[in-house]
Amino acid sequence: MTQSPGQGQALDNLLTESRTFPPSDEFAAQANAQPALYEEAKADREAFWAKQAERLHWDTKWTQVLDWSDAPFAKWFVGGKLNVAYNCVDRHVESGHGDQVAIHWEGEPGDSRAITYGELQREVSKAANALTSLGIGAEDRVAIYMPMIPEAIFAMLACARVGAMHSVVFGGFSAEALRTRIEDSACRLVITTDGQYRRGTPAPLKPAVDEAVAGAPSVEKVIVVKRTDTEVAWMDKDVWWHELVDSQSDQHTPEAFDAEHPLFILYTSGTTGKPKGILHTSGGYLTQASYTQHHVFDLKPDTDVYWCTADIGWVTGHSYIVYGPLSNRVTQVVYEGTPNTPHEGRHWEIVQKYGVSIYYTAPTLIRTFMKWGAEIPAKFDLSSLRVLGSVGEPINPEAWIWYRENVGGGKAPIVDTWWQTETGAIMISPLPGVVSTKPGSAQRPLPGIGAKVVNDEGVEVPHGGGGYLVLDEPWPSMLRGIWGDEERYRETYWSRFAEQGFYFAGDGAKYDDDGDIWLLGRVDDVMNVSGHRISTTEVESALVSHPTVAEAAVVGASDATTGQGIVAFVILRGGAGSDAGGADAIKRLRDHVAKEIGPIAKPRQIMVVPELPKTRSGKIMRRLLRDVAENRAVGDVTTLADSSVMDLISAGLQSGK
């Protein structure tokens, strides 16, 4: 196990940060969360979660809150039955809120659409009927590969409604990445669009689906939403959304499914080249998504306008655009495009237009806003904002303060929320109105959640100490496994601290003197680029699949905007030709990685080297390459098989080769 890059440096920054921001009396008085929540959860954790589950409508009530007898496979709300989509849509219509706007959708080119809960119910019902007409039902897998348009949300909810599992694949992933994900879980259906708007221009999306489906025989049909009206090749399996879905009845009776009925699979990068299909189920997942949405964001369904800037291709989009907000009957903004189209004030213009009161985004975007300048948000009326959220990576105190001052008007509480695809919902975060916030710290586990920082032996470290983040109690929205790979599930999360029965999160963390938790980044070979998880091995395999590359090693180097940037070291093949290390060839390699995985995995920098530093057992010492990538003096080389390798690399780079 290697240490996270820049961990020492991050520690230094964090240790000098001691400001705290208590909530105003006014905010505290109206807050959903009250200090007693911590006590209540501590007194009886299961009773606490049972009470949270009551937030939902259950067709059949559970008989047991938690069955952990088959650990690490949890069963929550045993015997309970519910329909997830009914909980997110129909019950709000039935309680008289059919005319409330569920989604203010803002298209990138400036088109917009307001969708009420009543309309959402009709759209989801039509889509559910369409799925049934194709023979898609309980436990079938449906791949969704779409931009941020309303149909993507309709599609997810329609799957939930008929008990099919969605597997959303981020629209920025390549055809090959899509194909492997479709294949891994044998999806029967793909839902996509003709194209997507990106930075003002329509870009084709369907060709990637055509390519993926050609190599994925499990797919029987492809539903295509017309979004950009670009010409597309038409395949035998294709059917237009507007022809299939729009002709369906808008009435659909939801069926109740078991609390442990699978809801979705979402792929995330692990330490090997093969992504893991993280499996989530229904009752526990929705309970925690709903509870955290309400308390962490202090959500008031009658007055708030909420906006989470994530993409539904990531877990944040699942839990905090679809299931958390809608189960709470919020009015939310969904934006299709990039933050600087057509100008760098687009987000603030949207906040002003809809009176957004809760805004949830990622540190990488906050740092980008900082770079663009404080004068941009200053041009807009942001006074409606009252809670700000951050997720995806540690937020540096400087960005935190900038966010509070320039977006939050110097008073909106910031919730720094730590969680993962695997945890399904927020685990560590201050509760606004209760906890005095600290720039850079996610602070403490939510009521009902158990998290600790432990040393190598699994012993909790004292205040002021650092180690590994573990979760020491099962939680309702925990993953129920890795699709088709029980062994990998046990190995990845439960073997490191098997004796103690802790879930190993893969993050380094420390306690400050008050016992608050500070996250310090990954401790494995997983990079975090703009809040996206990418494994070093995945990028390495993409590089070596290029005919000019003999060997590759990839590291995440700290980056002022994206958190980490991907830096690759490659050894070229003997016959690669004399220009194989030239600028054009390097560009071709970067493009090759984008084609293999997706543009988010494009290395920031590729360095051609004569050798790679390896231990005697042949393991690449990424720590040393990180030193090079971050322009530091190279650390201890005594465990290298050949200690002169680093000199060779440095000499080659200095001579500009």
406 or 443, CB closer to ligand WT7? 443
Select the residue interacting with ligand WT7 from 507, 512, 538, 540 (CB under 6 A).
Answer: 507
281 or 420, CB closer to ligand WT7? 420
Q: Contact 227/201 with Cβ under 8 angstroms?
A: no
CB of 14 to ligand WT7, least distance (A): 11
Q: Contact 558/566 with Cβ under 8 angstroms?
A: no
Which residues 247-306 are close enough to bind ligand WT7 by CB under 6 A?
268
Has 198 been labeled as part of a binding site? Answer: yes
Select the residue interacting with ligand WT7 from 417, 437, 477, 562 (CB under 6 A).
Answer: 417
290 or 528, CB closer to ligand WT7? 528
Pull the structure tokens for residue 333.
Answer: 């903004």
Does 496 help bind ligand WT7 (rule: CB under 6 A)? Answer: no
Task: Compose the 422-451 pattern: x for residues touching ligand WT7 by CB under 6 A, - for all others.
Answer: --------------------x---------
Contact segment (CB under 6 A) with ligand WT7 among 50-58, 227-235, 314-322, 364-372 equals 314-322
Select the residue interacting with ligand WT7 from 394, 408, 447, 476 (CB under 6 A).
Answer: 394
140 or 507, CB closer to ligand WT7? 507
97 or 444, CB closer to ligand WT7? 444
Residue 256 gets which letter from DSSP? P
228 or 420, CB closer to ligand WT7? 420
Has 436 been labeled as part of a binding site? Answer: no
CB of 180 to ligand WT7, least distance (A): 18
CB of 411 to ligand WT7, least distance (A): 21
Amino acid at 580: A
Does 419 help bind ligand WT7 (rule: CB under 6 A)? Answer: yes
Kind of pairing, strands 549-559 and 481-482? Answer: unpaired
At 127 the three-state DSSP class reads: helix
**308 CA to centre of own chain:** 12
Question: In terms of Cα–Cα distance, which of 427, 440, 415 is closest to 510?
Answer: 440
d(CA 9, CA 12): 5
Report CA-CA distances (Å) from 391 to 311, 416, 428.
Answer: 13, 6, 11
Pull the structure tokens for residue 461.
Answer: 């470290």
Has 200 been labeled as part of a binding site? Answer: yes
CB of 416 to ligand WT7, least distance (A): 5
Q: Contact 165/481 with Cβ under 8 angstroms?
A: no
d(CA 109, CA 330): 25
Which residues 55-84 are close enough to bind ligand WT7 by CB under 6 A?
none
Q: Where are the alpha helices (DSSP H) in 301-432?
A: 315-317, 324-327, 346-354, 363-372, 375-378, 397-406
Has 340 been labeled as part of a binding site? Answer: yes
Has 417 been labeled as part of a binding site? Answer: yes
CB of 94 to ligand WT7, least distance (A): 32
d(CA 116, CA 118): 5
d(CA 4, CA 622): 10
Has 392 been labeled as part of a binding site? Answer: yes
Residue 445 gets which letter from DSSP? B
Select the residue interacting with ligand WT7 from 282, 290, 316, 364 (CB under 6 A).
Answer: 316
Report CA-CA distances (Å) from 230 to 222, 227, 598.
Answer: 17, 8, 21
Residues 6+ apart with CB under 8 A from 188: 136, 140, 141, 142, 218, 219, 220, 221
CB of 545 to ligand WT7, least distance (A): 24
- Give the 3-state secondary structure of 521-548: EECCCEEEECCEEEEHHHHHHHHHCCCC
Contact segment (CB under 6 A) with ligand WT7 among 68-76, 167-175, 205-213, 417-425 equals 417-425
Task: Compose the 519-558 pattern: x for residues touching ligand WT7 by CB under 6 A, - for all others.
Answer: x--x-----x--x-x-------------------------
| Residue position matching structure tokens 């049972």 | 50
- Quote the crossing angle between the two packed helices 536-544 and 583-596, to the nearest 10°: 120
CB of 649 to ligand WT7, least distance (A): 28
Has 546 been labeled as part of a binding site? Answer: yes
At 121 the three-state DSSP class reads: helix
Report the chain's C-alpha Rg in angstroms: 24
Residue 614 gets which letter from DSSP? B
CB of 563 to ligand WT7, least distance (A): 9
Has 530 been labeled as part of a binding site? Answer: yes
d(CA 204, CA 492): 37
Contact segment (CB under 6 A) with ligand WT7 among 56-64, 182-190, 312-320, 349-357 equals 312-320
296 or 552, CB closer to ligand WT7? 296
Residues binding ligand WT7 (CB under 6 A): 268, 314-316, 391-394, 416-421, 442, 505-507, 519, 522, 528, 531, 533
Residues that constitute the known binding site for CoA: 198-201, 316, 340, 530
Residues that constitute the known binding site for Mg(2+): 544, 546, 549
